[in-house]
Amino acid sequence: MGIDPRLAWMPDELSSGDGPDERALALERFGFEILDLVSDQAACVKPQSAFFEREGWRGVRALERICAEARRRGLLVIGDVKRGDIGSTAQAYAEAAFGRDGSEDILFDAVTVNPYMGRDAVLPFYELGQRRGCGVFVLMRTSNPGAEDLQNCLIDGRPLYERVAALLREWAPKGDLGAVVGATRPEELESVRQMLPDHWFLLPGVGAQGGTMSQAARSVDAKGSGILVNVSRSIGHAWRTRGRETAPADWRDEVRAAAMAYRRDLEEAIEARS
C-alpha cells in the first residue's frame, strides 16, 4: 500500500486549515486512516517521503509517526526515497533510514535507491541494511514514461537496465538486493525474472499508471512469490479513479473496497500463474 498524501486531494474532514501545523496534521491523519483501513490487506506500506518532506520538520515528524504505527501493527515499511548519492553522504542517508549501528531507531525496513552513480550509491545502504536487518530496492526498469530516455540505452548491445540487473547479481549473488521493476512493462517482466531468479521485485505502476495485477504476476519467482506490488493513488484516493474530484462522505468505504479488490486480483493472478 503506497501512502502518497496529496493535500489537494485530502478529504475535508482530515484538514482543519492551511497553516504548517494543520497541513502536517492532515498528512498524519491521512496516514493513520489508511493504516486503519488496509492493515489487514497489505503486507507492507510504502510512504512517499517527498509528500512529507515538503512540509518541513512537521511533515517529517508525521512520517515518523506513521512509520512507527505501521511497524507496531506488524507491517513492513518501505521508504520511497530514491536516494542516489555517494560516500559519506550515502552513508548518512542510510543511517537516517536504518539507524546507526547500535541504535534502536529504525525508520524504514527498506528503501528505494537510485544506482546511477554505481556501487558507491548502493553499497552503503546494502551493507548497513545487512547489519540492521533492513533491505534495499534498486531502481532498475521503472514505470514512468521518461524511463526510456536512459534505461533503454544500449551498452554493448544490451539495455542499461539489463546492466543494472547484472550488477545486482554481482553485488548480491544470494539475491538479497531487491529491484524496482514497473508493472507497466509486462513484455519485459518475465525476461527480467529470468535474469534475477532469486531477487525480490518491487512493482509500481498498478492502478493509476495503467498496470494490472495480471501483468505484475508475470514476474513471480519459481515459488510463486518474490514480488511486492505497490498500489497508491488507486486505493488511497480511490474516489478519483471514478472521476470524482472531491472525497465523498463514504470515502473510507471506497478505500477499503479498493484495497480488498486489489488484493483479491493479485491472489487470483498468482494462482492463475501456478
Please give the distance of CA 160 from its chain centroid, rounded to a whole number.
22
Candidates 46, 82, 174, 223; catalytic one? 82
What 3-state class would DSSP assign to 97?
helix
Four-residue CA torsion sign, 165, 169, 174, 176: negative
15 vs 115: CA distance, rounded Å: 37
Which candidate, 260, 194, 199, places its Cα nearest to that of 227?
A: 199
15 vs 28: CA distance, rounded Å: 10
What 3-state class would DSSP assign to 268?
helix
Known catalytic membership, residue 174: no
Kindly tell me the burial class for residue 194, based on how many C-beta atoms sit within 10 Å of its own C-beta (0-12, 13-18, 19 or more).
exposed
34 vs 255: CA distance, rounded Å: 8
247 vs 137: CA distance, rounded Å: 33
Q: Any idea what DSSP says for residue 104?
A: -
Q: List Cβ neighbours of 111 (8 Å cut-off, separation of 6 or more).
A: 78, 79, 80, 81, 83, 97, 98, 125, 134, 135, 136, 137
86 vs 63: CA distance, rounded Å: 25
Q: Any idea what DSSP says for residue 46?
A: E
Active site residues: 82
